[in-house]
């Protein structure tokens, strides 16, 4: 599923950092660095090179991105401000969850910004533990069981 069925004109691409870097960087720079004030140094890390990236495009414009880390944790979920609340983040998230399941994950975890916990709750994620800060932004660890028979 590319997501095109749900959102006409939108396509999702999966690939390596080498393949998707220009598009993913564009979205992450706009959201995390310019909008949220995160530092350049913290945004780009060694995990990009070893992660699977997903980029959403509307036409030729990159409008959203996220990555699936080798330990099957989702991170760096971002959608351009002008394209939010249109289902793009949901499509990216569900695509990466599906890939994690294909790779044998029984649960998927992520660090959710507290401001968007409801979004992740709607996708079956449950918050765990105490609030923590990344780049001055409050987060919670969240987990979604992919196999209902898995015990924590």
Q: Quick one: pLDDT at residue 82?
A: 85
Which residue positions in the chain have pLDDT lower than 70? 1-6, 148-152
Give the pLDDT score at 42.
Answer: 86
| Among 74, 46, 54, residue whose Cα is nearest residue 142 | 74
DSSP class per residue in the chain: --STTTSTTEEEEEE-HHHHHHHHHHHHIIIIIIIT---HHHHS-TTGGGSEEEEEEETTEEEEEEEE-TTSEEEEEEE-GGG-SSSHHHHHHHHHHHHHHHTT-SEEEEEEEGGGHHHHHHTT-EEEEEEEEETTEEEEEEEEESSTT---
Whole-number pLDDT of residue 2:
37
- What CATH code is assigned to 10-145? 3.40.630.30
Instruction: Return the pLDDT at 1.
Output: 36
């Amino acid at each position: 599923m590319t997501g095109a069925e749900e959102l006409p004109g939108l396509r999702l691409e999966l690939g390596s950092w080498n393949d998707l870097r220009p598009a993913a960087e564009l979205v992450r720079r706009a959201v995390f660095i310019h909008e949220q004030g995160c530092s350049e140094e913290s945004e780009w890390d060694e995990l990009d090179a070893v992660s699977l990236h997903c980029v959403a495009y509307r036409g030729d414009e990159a409008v959203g991105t996220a990555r699936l880390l080798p330990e099957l944790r989702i991170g760096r979920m971002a959608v351009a401000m002008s394209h939010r609340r249109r289902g793009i983040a949901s499509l990216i998230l569900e695509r990466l969850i599906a890939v994690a399941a294909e790779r044998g994950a029984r649960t998927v975890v992520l660090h959710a910004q507290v401001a968007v916990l409801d979004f992740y709750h709607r996708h079956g994620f449950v918050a765990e533990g105490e609030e923590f800060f990344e780049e001055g932004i409050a987060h919670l660890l969240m987990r979604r069981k992919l196999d209902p028979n898995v015990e924590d």
